[in-house]
Amino acid sequence: IRVARRTMSSPVGFSNKVFINGEYVPASLSPLPVIDPATEEQIGTIGNASAADVNKAVTAAKAAFPSWTATSGSDRAKILRKFSEGLKKRKEFLAKWETMDMGKPIDESLWDLDDVAGCFEYYADMAEDLDKRQNEALESPMEEFTQHMQYQSVGVIGVITPWNYPLLMASWKVAPALAAGCTVVLKPSEHASLTCLELGNIAQEAGLPAGALNIVTGLGPETGGTLCDHPDVDAMAFTGSTSTGTYIMQTAAKQIKNVSLELGGKGAFIVFDDVDVEKAVEWIMFGVFWTNGQICSSTSRLLIHEKIAPAVLKRLKEEAEKINQTNPLEVGARMGPVVNKIQYDKVMGYIQAGKDEGATLLTGGKRNPKFSKGYFIEPTVFVDVKENMKIWKEEIFGPVLSVRTFSDEAQAIKEANDSPYGLGAAVMSGDKDRCARVVKGLRYGIVWVNCTQPCFVNAPWGGLKRSGVGRDLGKYGFERFLEPKQVTEYVSGNPWGWFISSKI
């Protein structure tokens, strides 16, 4: 088995620096350690930006905005495509660092890097298309007027991204914002910032004007809080916890600042009794153990028809116990550790709560005994779960599946919808009409049919209820960084004649 080397240089070649106004500069506060979750060893440091550093980044973004927004969409597209080229050139390098930074298997990180490069390419196309849309005509209801549309950039965008998909979540916001002519201040999660810092080097290579993209790493209260509350930030784009999203929305409300929030989830996976057991088991595991279970869209609530439950659960236990959980840098690893000790303790706390409240462990539920170090939690499945249990109601963000059975379709839809979240859900059945009914009945922003978790850049991503507001990806992820301007012109040669009568 090929194991990726751990003796690589840092992604930016140095530590304790942030990227402001086109160059790497020292952060003002003491650097933050970077811990490999597979070994619990420190592998580097990142800069810890102060409020003053954030102010400098916002000032640079504000200064860069007039010229960047005046750049044609086709010219912005050329730079975004160079971003994509820079990412492809660094694919293995960045994938290895992302795996060491947050613990996901290297095969997943490599897949993510393909998607990151593809995201910049997709929004390069959108930028080009924007040129064609400018000044598009509207049909005026009165012949005395002509009307057309212009699309103007929102302005300076504050972007805060999570640790589970560091570069990918950044690309979902940075790429469309730049494509739309906005400038950006990116604050990655302090728990996984390394690969996002490399975007500064890529920006320099791509010829992005200084100040159009700034990257400030640091802690949430000072670095993130200053960014949210800054009067020169025109909009906030955030992916992360519902609690932090609530804070951002409350802060933005004071300034009537636009926000887009992709928050938590507690997705349901409804499996009917006419499915192929092997296919069902594969998708059930993919929905909850992918990225070590640390996905907001995780379908971690399994609703399975009582007739097929014994067969599916038997195979699920067998296959979950065979998952290759190992050093995530090993090719072929399918699970690694959770991101850090904080998350490890949180997930283990939920597992204990499940046992205390009377759920039955089908498999897992403890630290993987193969490892003396690292935050490895076995793939865990609970059965005999009640609707009022914490493991059923609350987002765990770890490799924990809770299972309930159902007997009829209406009951399954009702239970799936009985959640404060509404991000992603799935249904599996060989009956197309049934699937169509369930899709229509589910109150979620994303519904998968006979699968779970696939995500494509052309389709909107976001949820209902406490899962957030707004959408990433697709045309929706682009339009949120544009403000429509309608232009109406009076073209009649006759006076309007409302207050001043025309002379005969």
Catalytic residues: 262, 296
Name the region of 268 (left: φ>0; alpha: ψ -120 to 50; beta: rest): beta
The CB-based long-range contact list for 431-439 (8 Å cut-off, 24+ gap) reads: 431/272, 431/274, 434/272, 434/409, 437/409, 438/270, 438/409, 438/412, 438/413
Contact criterion met (CB below 8 Å) for 162 and 189: yes
User: Which residue from 68, 311, 336, 89 is spatially nearest to 209, judged by alpha carbons?
Assistant: 68
Q: Which residues touch 391 (CB under 8 Å, ≥6 apart)?
A: 350, 351, 353, 354, 357, 359, 382, 385, 400, 402
- Give the full edge-to-edge strand order of the sheet including 400-406: 360-363, 380-383, 400-406, 301-305, 268-271, 424-428, 446-449
191-to-20, 98, 168, 203, 264 alpha-carbon distances in Å: 20, 11, 15, 23, 17
Q: Do the strands 424-428 and 446-449 form a parallel or antiparallel pair, or are they unpaired?
A: parallel
How much of the chain is helix, strand and coil, in % rounded to 5?
40, 25, 40
Rounded distance between C-alpha atoms, residue 239 and residue 317, angstroms: 33
Q: Which residues of 137-168 are buried (b: 16+ CB within 10 A; e: fewer)?
A: eeeeeeeeeeeeeebebbbbbbbbbbbbbbbb
Distance CA 52, CA 288 (A): 41
Backbone angles phi, psi at 315, to 5 degrees: -70, -35
Give, in degrees to the nearest 5, the angle at Cα 266 between 278 and 346. 100
Rounded CA-CA distance 203/14 in Å is: 17
CB-based contact 175:123 (threshold 8 Å): yes
Q: Dihedral, CA atoms, 98, 99, 105, 110, nearest 10 degrees?
A: 40
C-alpha–C-alpha distance, residues 249 and 84, integer Å: 32
Give the count of beta carbons closer than 10 Å to the beta carbon of residue 358: 10
Token pair listed for 222? 């000072």
Token pair listed for 139: 């049909």
